[in-house]
Amino acid sequence: MSSRIAHAGLRAKITSAEEAATFIKNGMNVGMSGFTGSGYPKVVSQALADQIEATHAAGDPFKIGVWTGASTGPELDGALAKADGIGFRLPYSSDPIARDKINRGEINYFDMHLSHVAQIAWEGFLGPLDTAVIEVAGITPEGDLIPSTSVGNNKTWLDQAKQIILEVNSWQNLQLDGMHDIYYGTALPPNRVPIPLIRPDDRIGQPHFRCDPAKVVAVVETDSPDRNLPFAAPDANAKAIAGHLLEFLKNEVKQGRLPPSLLPLQSGVGNVTNAVLAGLMDAPFENMTSFTEVIQDGMIDLLESGKLLMASATAFSLSPAMAERLNRDASWFRDKLILRPQEISNHPELVRRLGCIAMNGLIEADIYGAVNSTHVMGSKIQNGIGGSGDFARNAFVSIFMTPSTAKGGAISAIVPQVSHVDHIAQDVQVIVTEQGLADLRGLVPRQRAMLIIENCAHPDFRDALKDYYERALRGSFGQQSPSLLTEALSWHQRFVETGSMRP
């Protein structure tokens, strides 16, 4: 008991989750740890949700602002959303209960670039950060905090919050201590300096968070797993997408446009990117590196195989089986993994300098290459932009991947005009579906349209796209990016009305 809390003063603050949660009051802004289902508080958030429900039952208001790294788990977003306890949420959410409430207008959801979060919290226009609730793996004798399986914005929350609640989670493997790299060199302008990171494996910070013990009001002990969900095995579509992409990368190496070890890989989370990572196991690239947001199963496989030398990210997002493997060989992995604050993992300066190969998913792309990553049918948010904008604009090669249809073929991922834009065509260099790959670099909109329709659209929608485009070539107001204003969003409207984009 309490063996992970080596600081006497903080050990004296050990209390129950219920007691700790009472420090959080209606209207507070609360900065919580957590990124992609790892390293989020598990018990204080649940106890807080219970207290919010009780308060509501008594007829009193109780809503808070929830700031995190990114998505969390059911004990946090799920429980608080269910309790109607979230008034304002940033910067990313993927919880199904929260999503429903956001899309009913019941939660104010601020969907933002993940690299910008720390900066705007410092700026102060969101109001003060009242409380930080941070999961850690342990506390050193000096009172420094051993980070957990995500770093996210924890450094900023700990620095900015008026009061701090710590969850010390003994489920987390202490052997990962030393893996983190917490950089304290950021500042607001005009006091910013170059970030001294030149290679993905550079360590520029320290392994632990600083923490003012006087601000800690409660320490809670837990032994709870992260929300580690099994990945589905890649299906035929994912494998086809991976195949096209690997051919493209091989050709780039052959043409001398990429080095044989590629450039640092960034990949979004999901089955398609996991299929790409699986494909890299058999691809002729050696000594690869990764500078990304999240370390998922495929990266661990690549590390073990020796194809990938190291991976830098801000969080894990592993299946339970892979989390077990990581825990079993934690000391071996520790030297090959670096978790950083998300202002560093996603920093435009670093993404541009390193020349990342960015691989992200999408909801829909249009025939000119603009990408919608967030809003289904233009208005209903799925998750959020996350770090995709940080990477896509600054990457050396910006790749977006998707199956060409969704909802059993009712939705085409390639549409005349996207119903919402997250990535402008200038930031989308390659689009890949199971049908093929469109290399859009250097192409003007009319050329992009032909290539995307031919190479990426599903055959069931290809003729309709061609028909739209050819009529736009005749009827458009201008011919730089031909469009028919009355039809540009008609496929989405048809889906809303009929449940299918098919005519």
Q: Which of residues 393-422 bind its own copies (CB under 8 A)?
A: 393-394, 396, 417, 419-422
Is residue 483 close enough to count as binding its own copies by CB under 8 A? Answer: yes
| Residue span binding its own copies (CB under 8 A) among the ranges 2-10, 44-52, 188-196, 333-341 | 188-196
Distance in Å, CB of 50 to its own copies, minimum: 27
Q: Is 293 a catalytic residue?
A: yes
Q: How far apart are CB 98 and its own copies at their closest, in Å? A: 11
Q: Which is nearer to its own copies, 199 or 407 (CB)?
A: 199
DSSP 252-304: HHHTTSS-TT-S-EEE-SSHHHHHHHHHHTTSS--SEEEE-SEEEHHHHHHHH
C-alpha torsion angle, residues 201, 202, 207, 209 (rounded to 10): -110
- Which residue lies nearer to its own copies by CB, 102 or 218? 102
Q: Which of 6, 18, 489, 500 binds its own copies (CB under 8 A)?
A: 489
Q: Which is nearer to its own copies, 2 or 108 (CB)?
A: 108
Shortest reach from residue 139's CB to its own copies, in Å:
33
User: Residue 173: which of 36, 327, 322, 294 has the closest Cα?
Assistant: 327
User: If we measure between CA atoms, which residue out of 134, 99, 130 comes closest to residue 341?
Assistant: 134
Among 1, 59, 105, 141, binds its own copies (CB under 8 A): 105
- Distance CA(64)–CA(309), nearest Å, equals 42
Query: Which of these, 393, 357, 349, lies nearest to 257 by C-alpha position?
Result: 357
Binder to its own copies among 59, 194, 408, 459 (CB under 8 A)?
194
125 burial level (CB within 10 Å; 0-12, 13-18, 19+)? exposed
Which of 3/251 has CB closer to its own copies?
251
Listing DSSP states for 93-123 in one string gives ---HHHHHHHHTT-SEE----GGGHHHHHHH
Of the candidate spans 327-335, 400-408, 450-458, 482-490, the one that interacts with its own copies by CB under 8 A turns out to be: 482-490
Query: Residue 181 corresponds to which amino acid?
Result: D
Residues 57-96 close enough to bind its own copies by CB under 8 A: 88
Given the residues 135, 167, 293, 364, select the one marked as catalytic: 293
Number of residues that bind its own copies (CB under 8 A): 85
Q: Does 184 bind its own copies (CB under 8 A)?
A: no
Compute CA 168 distance to the chain's CA centroid, rounded to the nearest angstrom. 24
Q: Which of 99, 114, 34, 103 is nearest to 385 (CA)?
A: 114
SS (H, E, C) 205-230: CECCECCCHHHEEEEEEECCCCCCCC
Q: Which residues contact 209 (CB under 8 A, 6 or more apart)?
A: 134, 136, 144, 145, 147, 154, 155, 158, 182
Of 391, 433, 368, 142, nearest in space to 265 by CA: 391
Geometric angle at alpha carbon 155, from 152 and 161, rounded to 5°: 110
- Closest approach, Cβ 420 to its own copies, in A, equals 7
Q: How far is the CB of 107 from its own copies (least distance, A)?
A: 9
190, 282, 408, 459: which one binds its own copies (CB under 8 A): 190
Binder to its own copies among 84, 355, 454, 502 (CB under 8 A)?
355
Q: Print the binding letters for residues 128-167 with its own copies: x by CB under 8 A, - otherwise.
A: ----------------------------------------
Min dist CB 438 to its own copies, Å, is 14
**Does 124 contact its own copies by CB under 8 A?**
yes
Binders of its own copies among residues 426 to 455 (CB under 8 A) are 426, 441-444, 446-447
Which amino acid, residue 366?
D
Report the nearest approach of its own copies to the CB of residue 144 (Å): 28
Q: What CA–CA distance (Å, rounded) separates 103 from 383?
A: 11
The reply to whether 26 sits near its own copies by the rule CB under 8 A is no
Range 236-255, binding its own copies (CB under 8 A)? 255
Q: Check binding of 474 to its own copies (CB under 8 A).
A: no
Rounded to an integer, what distance in angstroms lies between the CA atom of residue 378 and that of residue 420? 5
Q: Does 192 bind its own copies (CB under 8 A)?
A: yes
Among the listed residues 308, 259, 312, the one whose alpha carbon sits nearest the alpha carbon of residue 287: 308
Minimum CB separation of residue 342 from its own copies in Å reads 15
181 near its own copies, rule: CB under 8 A:
no
Buried (b) or exposed (e) across 72-85, using 16+ Cβ within 10 A? Answer: bbbbbbbbbbbbbb
Instruction: Rule CB under 8 A: choose which of 236, 379, 407, 498 binds its own copies.
Output: 379
Active site positions, annotated: 293
